[in-house]
């Protein structure tokens, strides 16, 4: 947990340990990035307003070589901040004060995301795009594409229903396990995914938006 | 009685002024024309009478004259009649019994004293002019000139002048109407701007004007609005800052409270009760701060997108553990062009309100009319007192049902948030009585082209 407020860090660590997690905390992004190199965590919680390197930059640097799930816990709730953090590579965004039960539910959902449901087909092919759910791999024209676990789970959900429209709320339920969630999560992740799997992400041809309905992946 | 509007009063003033002026002018012209025409007519009558008198006088000089013939030889036309009185006997061109009665006695005596005389009379209800000339000691000549033609001319003149006066008055009224409209145009633009401000557009200002009479109004108005919006912005920022600053300590409290809550079974009775109070109040505090932050965002307009409203309502029902068959939706499942987050909160807060104060919702109606998207939530509770109907939509405003619940009730922000979300869409929320008891909350969100 990267959080500069000592009291918040201490109380959240206590609460998370109560929930059965092993948790460590550091006050700065620099220390967090170093710790992730030496002794990587399964999941990273990060605040946005940090001394030195700020949360956005921290997410970006951590994302560079790592698909570790990153959850933002911030007091900032402007659309601008939320979208910027998600675009930097965060998997989920929680606004302070977050209830411990809620945080725990989000972390469980993230861990499940690392193990997608057993698919009916070993390889899902959409033209030159290949998805191997068991191996957690995405290939485009035979070349592996690096995607985060959340992106992979999102892609699998869409690939398991080829040509079928999934609404943002359906995707929120299936990928993030939110009953009643923020649709910006889906939009930003779809945008990031397009940059990786589309030839021209501003004119998508595989992962298309169906106006007023949601998204679909087409062959 | 309601006082007439400024414009009406200005118009009436102009009209009555114009009417008074034109009446005076018409009256004066009528009098002058009448006097001058009458004088002219009198002169002509006198001339004609003297001429005829000379003819008659010449005829009478002959021995044993036939007076009837002499009179008949006069070329009098149809407009005048000649009479002669000689030795106490009346002679006329025609046998007209009444004609002598047209000549007033006073005038006869004057003429019989040898004085020529002229007088206006009314004969057979027609205006006439009688001119009398003494021809000798015992012979007097009279002529009765009809003034009917002149009368008709004057009547026509009076008619024309009256018509002109009325037209001038109407013209005055029209002028007044336009003048008032022109003069009150700045007032209308002030009213428009004030309305826009009341509707939440704090950027509305009056356009600067080169008119020195209006500069003061424009400047003061714009200054007032600027100050108002500065103050509102400061208030909003204060609420946002306060709530924001509360978030960090609240996060610590929430996490620490959950640690306490987990250990409640190991605590003794008193400590466990205290820990329970802390946990509950932290949760309430948390939702209060979230609501305050939501309200502090009042300046943001609705961020519309296509929203599957029926699905959203179903999710809201699930979240509050309500059966989904409460939802009564339009047959066509057309998505709504609204702000997803705001509409979600509208549904949630209305359901929450119905559960807390209305014994639970009995129906959730979703309609798309020609102009509006309409959300209605009905309940079976005690309804809302008429005097509470505005209060409940105010911040921290709580109606009777909420006051009765005392400290256990919400802070009174939920419906204020509903009202704010409705107005961010340019819409509104109202509460109505249902015929069989209970309340119906109705949110109208105007449609907008995507």
Residues B355 and B231 grouped into a single domain: no
Q: How far is A7 from chain B (nearest CA, A)?
A: 6
User: Chain A within 8 Å of B220 (Cβ-Cβ)?
Assistant: no
Instruction: Supply the range of the domain harboring residue B249.
Output: 212-296
- Partners of B344 on chain A (C-beta within 8 Å) are 180
Position B303 scores a pLDDT of 79
Note the pLDDT tens digit of each residue in B259-301. 998 898 898 999 999 998 998 888 888 888 888 878 877 667 7
Give chain B's mean pLDDT. 85
Residue B254 is part of a domain; what is its CATH number?
1.10.287.130
Position A27 scores a pLDDT of 95
Higher pLDDT, B82 or B36: B36
Which of A18, A73, A180 shows the shortest C-beta gap to B319? A180
- Partners of A183 on chain B (C-beta within 8 Å) are 340
Q: Which residue of B has its CA nearest to A79?
A: B303
Position A180 scores a pLDDT of 67
Dihedral, CA of residue A157, residue A159, residue A164 and residue A167, to nearest 10? 30
Higher pLDDT, B255 or A200: B255
Structural domains of chain A, with CATH: 6-113 (3.40.50.2300), 124-217 (1.10.10.10)
pTM of the model: 0.60
Q: What is the mean pLDDT of residues B84-109?
A: 77
Inter-chain CB proximity B335 and A212 less than 8 Å? yes
Place of tokens 């509102």: B232
Which of A15, A79, A96 shows the shortest C-beta gap to B258? A15
**Residue B358 in contact with residue B399, Cβ under 8 Å?**
no
Nearest to B96 by CA among B128, B127, B124: B124
A·B CB contacts under 8 A: 80
Q: Which range is least confidently modeled, A114-128, A145-159, B137-151, B165-179?
A: A114-128
Higher pLDDT, B83 or B167: B167
Task: State the total domains in chain B.
Answer: 3
CA atoms of A157 and B96, how far apart (whole Å) = 125
* Length reported for chain B: 450
**Residue A121 in contact with residue A130, Cβ under 8 Å?**
no
User: Chain A within 8 Å of B308 (Cβ-Cβ)?
Assistant: yes
Inter-chain CB proximity A183 and B319 less than 8 Å? no
B181 domain residue, yes or no? no
Residues B370 and B248 grouped into a single domain: no
CA atoms of A69 and A114, how far apart (whole Å) = 9
Q: How far is A20 from chain B (nearest CA, A)?
A: 12
Q: Which range is least confidently modeled, A171-180, A185-194, B70-79, B369-378?
A: B70-79
B176 domain residue, yes or no? no
Position B95 scores a pLDDT of 63
Position A22 scores a pLDDT of 94
Up-side HSE of residue B147: CA atoms within 13 Å toward CB? 26
* Boundary (domain end) residue, out of B268, B296, B324: B296
Note the pLDDT tens digit of each residue in B387-417. 888 888 888 877 776 666 655 557 788 899 9
CA atoms of A210 and B174, how far apart (whole Å) = 60
Residues B69 and B106 grouped into a single domain: yes
Q: At A118, list the tokens.
A: 């057993």
Block means of pLDDT (10 residues each) for chain A, 219 residues, are: 94 94 94 92 92 93 87 86 91 90 89 63 80 83 86 88 86 83 86 88 86 83
Residues B311 and B433 grouped into a single domain: yes
Residues B315 and B285 grouped into a single domain: no
Which long-range contacts link A175-182 to residues 24+ away (Cβ below 8 Å)? A175/A113, A175/A150, A176/A92, A176/A106, A176/A109, A176/A150, A177/A105, A177/A106, A177/A108, A177/A109, A177/A112, A179/B315, A179/B318, A179/B319, A180/B315, A180/B316, A180/B319, A180/B344, A182/A82, A182/A93, A182/B341
Nearest to B410 by CA among B347, B341, B353: B353
Nearest to B309 by CA among B337, B281, B288, B275: B337
Position B116 scores a pLDDT of 87
Contacts of residue B119, defined as CB under 8 A and 6 or more positions apart, other chains included, come to B104, B107, B129, B130
Give which of B240, B254, B334, B343 to mutate to test A binding, by max A Cβ within 10 Å. Answer: B254
B171 domain residue, yes or no? no
| Predicted complex: ipTM over 0.85 | no
Residue B63 is part of a domain; what is its CATH number?
3.30.450.20
* Boundary (domain end) residue, out of B267, B296, B325: B296
Residues of A near B (Cβ–Cβ under 8 Å) read: 5, 7-8, 10-12, 14-15, 18, 73, 75, 77, 79, 95-101, 167, 169, 179-180, 182-183, 211-213
Which long-range contacts link B234-238 to residues 24+ away (Cβ below 8 Å)? B236/B296, B236/B298, B236/B299, B237/B296
Residues B232 and B321 grouped into a single domain: no
Q: Which range is least confidently modeled, A99-103, B180-184, B253-257, B398-402?
A: B398-402
């Amino acid at each position: 947990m990267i959080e500069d407020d000592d009291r918040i860090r201490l109380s959240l660590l206590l609460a998370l340990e109560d929930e059965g997690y092993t948790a460590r905390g550091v006050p700065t992004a620099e220390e967090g990035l170093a710790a992730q190199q030496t002794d990587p965590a399964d999941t990273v919680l990060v605040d946005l307003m940090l001394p030195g390197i700020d949360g956005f930059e921290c997410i970006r640097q951590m994302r560079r070589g790592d698909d570790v799930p990153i959850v933002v816990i911030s007091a900032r709730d402007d659309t601008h901040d939320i979208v910027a953090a998600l675009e930097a590579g965060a998997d989920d965004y929680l606004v302070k004060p977050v209830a411990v039960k809620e945080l725990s539910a989000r972390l469980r959902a993230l861990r499940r995301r690392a193990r997608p449901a057993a698919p009916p087909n070993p390889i899902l092919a959409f033209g030159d795009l290949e998805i191997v759910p068991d191996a957690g791999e995405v290939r485009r024209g035979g070349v592996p594409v690096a995607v985060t676990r959340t992106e992979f789970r999102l892609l699998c959900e869409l690939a398991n229903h080829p040509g079928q429209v999934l609404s943002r709320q359906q995707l929120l339920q299936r990928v993030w396990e939110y009953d009643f969630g923020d649709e910006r999560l889906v939009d930003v992740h779809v945008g990031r995914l397009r940059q990786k799997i589309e030839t021209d992400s501003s004119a998508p041809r595989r992962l298309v938006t169906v106006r007023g309905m949601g998204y679909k992946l087409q062959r | 009685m309601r006082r007439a509007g400024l414009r009406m009063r200005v118009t009436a003033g102009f009209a009555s002024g114009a009417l008074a002026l034109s009446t005076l002018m018409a009256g004066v012209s009528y009098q002058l024309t009448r006097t001058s025409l009458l004088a002219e007519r009198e002169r002509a009558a006198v001339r004609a009478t003297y001429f005829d008198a000379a003819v008659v006088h010449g005829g009478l000089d002959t021995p044993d004259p036939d007076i009837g013939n002499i009179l008949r030889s006069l070329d009098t036309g149809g407009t005048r009649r000649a009479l002669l009185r000689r030795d106490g006997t009346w002679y006329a061109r025609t046998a007209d019994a009444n004609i002598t009665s047209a000549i007033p006695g006073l005038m006869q005596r004057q003429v019989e004293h040898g004085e020529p005389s002229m007088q206006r009379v009314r004969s057979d209800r027609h205006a006439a002019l009688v001119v009398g000339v003494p021809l000798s000691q015992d012979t007097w000549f009279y002529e009765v000139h009809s003034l009917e033609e002149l009368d008709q001319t004057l009547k026509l003149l009076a008619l024309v002048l009256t018509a002109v006066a009325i037209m001038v008055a109407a013209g005055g009224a029209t002028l007044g109407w336009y003048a008032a409209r022109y003069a009150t145009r700045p007032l209308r633009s002030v009213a428009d701007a004030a309305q826009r401000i009341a509707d939440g557009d704090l950027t509305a200002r009056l356009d600067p004007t080169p008119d020195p009479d209006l500069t003061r109004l424009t400047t003061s108005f714009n200054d007032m609005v600027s100050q108002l919006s500065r103050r509102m912005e400061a208030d909003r920022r204060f609420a946002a800052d306060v709530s924001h600053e509360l978030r960090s300590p609240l996060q610590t409290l929430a996490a620490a409270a959950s640690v306490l809550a987990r250990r409640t079974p190991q605590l003794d009775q008193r400590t466990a009760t205290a820990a329970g109070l802390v946990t509950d109040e932290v949760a309430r505090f948390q939702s209060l701060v979230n609501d305050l932050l939501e309200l502090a965002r009042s300046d943001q307009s609705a961020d519309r997108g296509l929203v599957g409203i029926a699905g959203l309502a179903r999710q809201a029902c699930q979240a509050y553990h309500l059966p989904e068959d409460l939802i009564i939706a339009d047959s066509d499942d057309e998505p709504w062009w609204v702000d997803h987050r705001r509409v979600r909160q509208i549904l949630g807060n209305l359901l929450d309100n119905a559960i807390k104060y209305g014994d639970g919702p009995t129906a959730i109606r979703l309609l798309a009319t020609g102009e509006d998207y309409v959300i209605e939530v009905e309940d079976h509770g005690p309804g809302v007192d008429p005097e509470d109907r505005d209060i409940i939509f105010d911040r921290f405003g709580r109606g009777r049902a909420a006051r009765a619940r005392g400290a256990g009730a919400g802070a009174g922000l939920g419906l204020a948030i509903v009202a704010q979300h409705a107005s961010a869409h340019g819409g509104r929320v109202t509460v109505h009585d249902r015929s069989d008891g209970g309340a119906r909350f109705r949110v109208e969100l105007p449609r907008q082209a995507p």
